[in-house]
Structure 1
Amino acid sequence: MSRARVRWNGQAVNRAARAGELRGLRIGAEHLLQVSRDRVPIEEATLERSGVAVVDEADVSAVVAFDTPYAIRQHEELEYRHDAGRTAKYLEGPLDEEGAVILDLIAAQVRRALRG
């Protein structure tokens, strides 16, 4: 009969998983920001340039936002006409469409961190 010893270092595993989770969250937020920037209504590109992706490490959450006085109105007003490829719901649409991709990006970083 063979014997095997397993040594479990749970704290190291948890630290690695957390680091991978945060890295994946940052990559996922940046991905969403880029896809949204490709759709944001553009006149002078001020709205597009105002986009940011921020990760709160303590809360393990991310925010993607556009920060101009008219960002919300441009996002919500479905009757506005935009250039080809540009649209209202420029953040909501990509989040719905890219949600699975973002989750895959996070999962890949967690797996990578746990292998290392």
Structure 2
Amino acid sequence: MTVRMTWNGPQVQAAEREAAERGVALAAEHLLGASRQRVPLEEGTLERSGVASTDGLEGAVSYDTVYAVRQHEELTWRHDPGRTAKYLEGPLEEESAVMLEIVAAQIRRALRS
């Protein structure tokens, strides 16, 4: 009995990397959505300034106003119900398992093809 196999290692690795990058982008978008649910809301400027960005296998969520960091860190300020300081840190900790699953699902999907 003879068995022939074709090794497609480089193609599989490329597909896996592409899927992981797609997963990171989706996970960053997920975190942005979760954090927007908590960001302090006065006029909506801070909420609208939020962006998710990726560079390969690194993802980031940021808010771009002059007061974004202060709003995030100032625990003594009062906010509307459901809105809070640590509006990015809290969702990051709470949603980390979901974000990992988003990346894993993309990789699984790519490896099935």
TM-score (ref. length: structure 2): 0.96
In the aligned structure 1, how far is the partner of 2:4 from the partner of 2:97? 38
Matched, 1:10 2:9: yes
The CA RMSD measured in Å over matched residues stands at: 0.9
Partner of 1:98: 95
Moved over 6 A (4+): none
In the aligned structure 1, how far is the partner of 2:3 from the partner of 2:107? 27
Letter in 2 for 1:39: R
Determine what percentage of the aligned residue pairs are the same residue.
Answer: 60
Matched, 1:82 2:54: no
In the aligned structure 1, how far is the partner of 2:58 from the partner of 2:65? 22
Matched, 1:19 2:18: yes
Q: Partner of 1:89: helix, strand, or coil?
A: coil
In the aligned structure 2, how far is the partner of 1:32 from the partner of 1:110? 19
Q: Partner of 1:18: helix, strand, or coil?
A: helix
5+ residue gaps, structure 1, are: none
Partner of 1:67: 64
5+ residue gaps, structure 2, are: none
Equivalent of 2:108 in 108, 111, 115: 111
In the aligned structure 2, how far is the partner of 1:4 from the partner of 1:43? 68
Letter in 2 for 1:107: A
Q: Partner of 2:52: helix, strand, or coil?
A: strand
